Chains A and B, each alone.
Chain A
Amino acid sequence: MERNRLQRVLRASWPRLVAIGLLVGIWQLLVVVGVQSGGALGAGEPLPGPGDAIAEIGYLIHIGVLVPALLQTLERAAIGYALALAMGTVIGLAVVRIPVLRAGVGSLLAGLQSLPSVVWVPFAVLFLGDFAVYFVVIMGAFPSIAMGLMSSYDNVPPLTFSLARSMGARGPGYYRHFIFSATLPGYVAGMKQAWAFSWRSLMAAELIIGSTASTGLGQILDNGRTLGDLPEMFAALLAILIVGIAVNDLLFAPLERGLLRRRGLVPA
């Protein structure tokens, strides 16, 4: 039984394992070939290999730097994401329910979504101080939520709304049983995309804003660059990558998959 389970997990995850193996292989190859840094700081240092980066992660954990930084970053991500979720939901709902807003705000949202949120950093720092990081995350993530809600609403069969009217659905019941339920798949897809955007925005903000009081993953990376500590840089990079993937794979992907399966949109 246990063995079968292991086999099943292996069968499901081997493409991913191969892809990771390939990536690590290429990385190791670059190390073997002898790639060196050529910038001003720490020029001529050899590229650290995957093993070096993992060892450095262990070291950073050991000296008590990595875990507090990780928690700090995750806290920022959670708060920023929650605010973006609230704002995106309110704006998305307003836009689908109020025709005038749709014409005006709809296209603006698409534009905002394509704007790299890192461009907000200089303004945020000038005007918002400590709140700057959150602002950048919100600007990066909320358009995806609102757009997800909008496009999902547009894809609801008109018959569903006729049905709601013929049943006399109104007020909170109408929102709960029809609007929210019908747009949920697109909303969750938007949430998933918004996570990618918010994680990206947060890293950009941490890298640029750099010297705020408390240290996050982005600052470790920036710190490594400043000191010419290549293993530290790669350790930070690896940690950022792992967190981004883990949150997606452990939180958003199962949420979306479960939702689609219950609705019969993917095979069980």
Chain B
Amino acid sequence: MNVALAPRPSVVLRDADEAFVTLDGVTKVFGKGKASMTALENVSLELRKGEFVCILGTSGCGKSTLLSLVAGLDKVTSGTIEIADGRPAVMFQEPALLPWLTVRRNVELPMRLHKVDTEERNKTVNRLLSMVGLIDFADHRPHQLSGGMRQRCALARALAQDSELLLMDEPFAALDALTRDQLHDDLNRIWQETGKTIIFVTHNVREAVRLGDRVVLMTPRPGRVARIWDVDIARPRELDSFEVSGLAHEITAQLRAGAAGNGAQ
């Protein structure tokens, strides 16, 4: 594997756990011939079941492309993506709630599409709405909610899909800092309660360190895995704690060095 930045990424899992998600030599090229653009080059990554992995990088490093490939919304040019269990649930940067449905109806939509019976549906929706703190807003419509509440609703809907794998594409990027902090706490708690496997894409270093078991740093044009950090900081983590800040500084320094030395192989 041709990686610009040492040390070699810990791509392969150390312990004997079987990989839940496996990306092997994933390459994505948009366009053809001279006009083609390599968005991702030879990205390999393994995720354990229940792991929270943050993909970190500046804009244009192909992290969103990577996510839509895993989501099955786009096809790889070469390489393989294997997911041990079914179709992943996706949460986008925008809440993408359907404006004609109430909060409750939005959350139950994936279950309606897959013909889950009414009783079980209602039970699950109530549980999920309580989990994300929206139970009192079940009959509101999206336009009556704040930005943070909309993302909570989108999170509940993604959870309603009952997939073991949850893909999150900068879901909190458009929120103010206080709301984001609150949602970090909630996401951390929900992840621990549900045991989902999460791939979380972000350009925010502290966010990645605060949330992830591992932080995967990517370099842009073409998108490659530059380095992977294991984050051994006890949860729940504080955004401005000494440990989080310290690791965030280290990663930021690496990010800067990578940006400066990009292309010098």
Chain A positions within 8 Å of B, measured between CB atoms, are 157, 159-160, 162-163, 165-169, 173-174, 177, 181-182, 184, 262-265
Contacts and interface: CB of A to CB of B under 8 A. Distances in A.
* Most central of A163, A168, A184, A264 by chain B CB within 10 Å: A163
Contacts of B142: 264
A174 B110 CA distance: 11
B141 A262 contact: yes
Interface stretch (B1-9, B34-42, B90-98, B210-218): B90-98
A167 B116 CA distance: 14
Contact of A159 (B96, B114, B143): B96
Contact of A184 (B68, B100, B112): B100
Contacts of B68: 162
* Most central of A162, A166, A177, A265 by chain B CB within 10 Å: A166
A49 B112 CA distance: 61
Contacts of A160: 96, 98
Given A166-B72, A166-B90, 18 more contacts: A159-B92, A159-B94, A159-B96, A162-B96, A165-B72, A165-B73, A166-B73, A166-B87, A167-B161, A174-B113, A177-B113, A181-B98, A181-B100, A184-B100, A263-B99, A263-B100, A264-B142, A264-B143
Interface residues of B, number: 25
A177 B112 contact: yes
Given A162-B92, A263-B143, A167 B109 contact: yes
Contacts of A263: 99-100, 141, 143
Closest 6 CB pairs of A and B: A264-B143, A166-B90, A263-B99, A173-B113, A159-B96, A163-B96
A34 B100 CA distance: 56
B29 interface: no
B195 to A, nearest CB: 21
A168 B71 contact: no
Contacts of A264: 99, 141-144
Contacts of B99: 263-265
Contacts of B71: 166
A167 B92 CA distance: 13
Contact of A162 (B73, B88, B141, B161): B73
B89 interface: yes
A136 to B, nearest CB: 35
B141 A168 contact: no
Contact of B87 (A163, A168, A181, A262): A168
Nearest to B160: A167
A157 B141 CA distance: 18
A254 B23 CA distance: 53
B112 A166 contact: no
Contacts of A173: 112-113
Nearest to A173: B113
A184 B101 CA distance: 13
Nearest to A171: B113
Given A177-B113, A181-B98, A163 B92 contact: yes
Interface string B94-125: 10101111000000011011100000000000
B7 to A, nearest CB: 35
A108 B99 CA distance: 32
A184 B100 CA distance: 10
Contacts of A174: 113
Contact of B100 (A162, A163, A262): A262
B146 to A, nearest CB: 13
Nearest to B141: A264
B114 A168 contact: yes
